[in-house]
Amino acid sequence: MNAEELQYFERLIRTRLIALKDASEAGHEAQSVVELDQQAVGRLSRMDALQNQAMAKAQQARRDLEARRLQAALARMREGEYGYCEDCGEPIAHGRLELDLAASKCVSCASG
């Protein structure tokens, strides 16, 4: 992979990390503690609020995992290993990297 391609993927990764950070900040309120004041909220509304809180926490966990994977991809980039399969050492197809910027295995190794 040449320097221009690496810069392209680095820009994509950094843009995605910023988007994840923004989404995390926007979803912070949805993860807050649900008040159990029966005067303010009925039983079904509390159940909805608890379910929404659980979904917000699950979304945050997915964002955190993606951010860790993208940080690992940046580390591989610094080490000169980005774009190469960690199992067989062959180049990872650009289309695969476009779909999953943090891909660390080629299609053959990932499916086998």
61-106: pLDDT as tens digits: 999 999 999 999 999 999 999 999 999 999 999 999 999 999 999 9
Q: What is the pLDDT at residue 49?
A: 77
Residue among 32, 36, 34, 25 nearest 57 (CA): 32
The verdict on residue 105 lying in a domain is no
- Domain ranges, residue 51: 3-84
Take residue 54 and report the two structure tokens written for it.
């659980």
Question: How many domains does the structure of the chain reveal?
Answer: 1
Q: Is residue 99 part of a domain?
A: no
pLDDT tens across 39-48, in order?
A: 555 566 777 7
Answer whether residue 93 is part of any domain: no
- Interatomic CA distance for residues 104 and 85, integer angstroms: 6
What is the average per-residue pLDDT within 56-63? 92
pLDDT of residue 63: 96
**Alpha-carbon separation of residue 18 from 4, 24, 30, 74 (angstroms):** 21, 10, 20, 14
In a domain, 57, yes or no: yes
Predicted local distance difference test score (pLDDT) of residue 60: 92
DSSP state of 87: T
